[in-house]
Amino acid sequence: MATVRLSFSPAPVHVRTARLVGVAVARRAGVAEELLDEVRLAIGEACTRAVALHRQYGLTDLVTVEMSDSDSYTVRVIDHGPIEASVGLTKLPPDELADESLTDDALTTGVGFALLAGFVDDLQVRPVEDGSGTEVRMVWPVARR
């Protein structure tokens, strides 16, 4: 099993770097070419969410992305926001998406989660084991090498 770990300051500019690394490691791990767009989008959404949480709560802690391959390709995106920030994370129904009263942040969060849930078959959002924070864990199949 190989592991690649990337930590970055919670700034939007670094999310692209995380996407690029995540896709490069996925390709090397043997994730099917046709899934790479989805891997790229899902890692980007998970990191965007983590960066937004850190900024919302004024946290300067690094966001961590850990990628590992064994029987599958597993990506864990770890933030340090309060766990209650992740409660109520849900997909928005279409009739609420263009609702005038919905804030841009709430819309983006809801759409982001819809993308994660839609593109990742094996998705878990759970509290980190130590301290405060949430781990978004995503798993994709790899071809036998």
Partner 1 sequence: MELSLTTRTVAEYTVLEVGGEVDVYTAPRLRERLIELVDAGARDVVVDLERVDFLDSTGLGVLVGALKRLRTAHGTFGLVCAKEPLLKIFRITALDQVFPIFPTVGAATERDGSGPAS
Shortest distance, CB of residue 120 to partner 1, whole angstroms?
11
Yes or no: say if 37 and 97 are a contact pair by the CB < 8 Å rule. Answer: no
Binding of residue 127 to partner 1 (CB under 8 A): no
109 part of the interface to partner 1, by CB under 8 A: yes
Which residues fall within 8 angstroms of residue 69, CB to CB, at 6 or more apart?
A: 1, 2, 25, 28, 29, 30, 142
Q: List the one residue out of 63, 74, 57 whose CA is nearest residue 12.
A: 63
Quick one: which segment of 70-78, 81-89, 90-98, 128-136 binds partner 1 (CB under 8 A)?
90-98
Q: Nearest approach, Cβ of 117 to partner 1 (angstroms)?
A: 8
Q: Which of 2, 90, 93, 126 binds partner 1 (CB under 8 A)?
A: 93
| Shortest spacing between CB 7 and partner 1, in angstroms | 17
Cα 79 from chain centroid (whole Å): 10
